[in-house]
Amino acid sequence: MKKGSSTVTEKITHLRAKQKTLEERWSKTGNPSLLQFFIDTVPDLLNSERCSIFIFNPTSDALWLYCGTDILEGQIRVPRIRSMAGQALSSGHYKVVTNMEEKAGIHEAIDGNTGFTTCNTLSIPIFNLAQDQAIGVLQILNKRGAGSFTHKDITLMQRLSSEISRFVESIFKHQEIAEILVKIRKKIKGLENFQAKKGIQKRQDQETMIVKTTQARGDYPWRLH
């Protein structure tokens, strides 16, 4: 038991060291502070509620959220097919969708998980530097008031998507780091849960042994003397 516990601890230590190294590499990929600055600025600029940057993963044929307003990295993942971001990416053109609160779709499940209600969206594809492949999507949610996204909004966001394309391309090319980090975190959590269960079982076995030993001696703690 002791040897097995030590092995689990060593595995966790090794995984945490690898996790730290990858997180340091990932934190330097794509200039995250600048991209987060854009995320913080765009909603006020367009009088909207939220802004997000999605990265396309060709392997899974899906888009995952790199950063967004009040959302954590990786918290949202949508398929390229049937999603608004995916439609903009596939077509290579911007996409505006309105009255979404009245429509069925993938956004319903996402809204349920995030506690946010999506009413209208503007999705702008982000291209690589060669301009021959869409690698991500800039998405703005919920134009405030009764207004809708204007031609001026679309033009401005297309310019912005071009400005951030080199950073998004860096993330696109190195996104396997993020995928590995997700697997490592899950592995660590699983090992920690296994270790915790083993610890609980060990304490229960010890308590059972104490009770049996006490009963064998006839030294019952509840007996009145």
Nearest Cα to Cα of residue 127 among 161, 77, 175: 161
Percent of the chain at pLDDT exceeding 70: 91
Predicted local distance difference test score (pLDDT) of residue 1: 45
Residue 51 vs residue 220, higher pLDDT? 51
Residue 104 has pLDDT above 90, yes or no: no
pLDDT at 24 exceeding the cut of 90: no
Q: What is the CATH number of domain 32-173?
A: 3.30.450.40
- How many CB atoms are closer than 10 A to CB 116? 16
pLDDT of 218 reads 62
Does the pLDDT of residue 93 top 60, yes or no?
yes
- The CA-CA-CA angle for residues 133, 109, 139, to 5°, reads 35
pLDDT at 65 over 90: yes
Task: Give the mean model confidence (pLDDT) for residues 183-210.
Answer: 83
User: How much is the pTM?
Assistant: 0.71
Domain residue ranges of the chain, discontinuous segments joined by +: 2-21+179-217, 32-173
Largest CA distance in the chain: 91
Identify which of 142, 156, 178, 149 has the alpha carbon closest to the alpha carbon of residue 66.
178
Give per-residue pLDDT as tens, 118-134.
Answer: 999 999 999 999 999 99
Question: From CA 94, how far away is CA 160, in angstroms rounded?
Answer: 13
Strand partners, 67: 53
Q: What single DSSP character describes residue 75? A: S
Task: Tell me which of 21 and 86 has the higher pLDDT.
Answer: 86
Q: How far is CA 150 from CA 120, 121, 154, in A?
A: 12, 12, 6
Residue 136: pLDDT above 70?
A: yes
Least confident of 96-105, 132-141, 153-162: 96-105
Matching residue, tokens 């809708």? 148
- The backbone torsions φ and ψ at residue 125, rounded to the nearest 5 degrees and listed phi first, read -70, 145
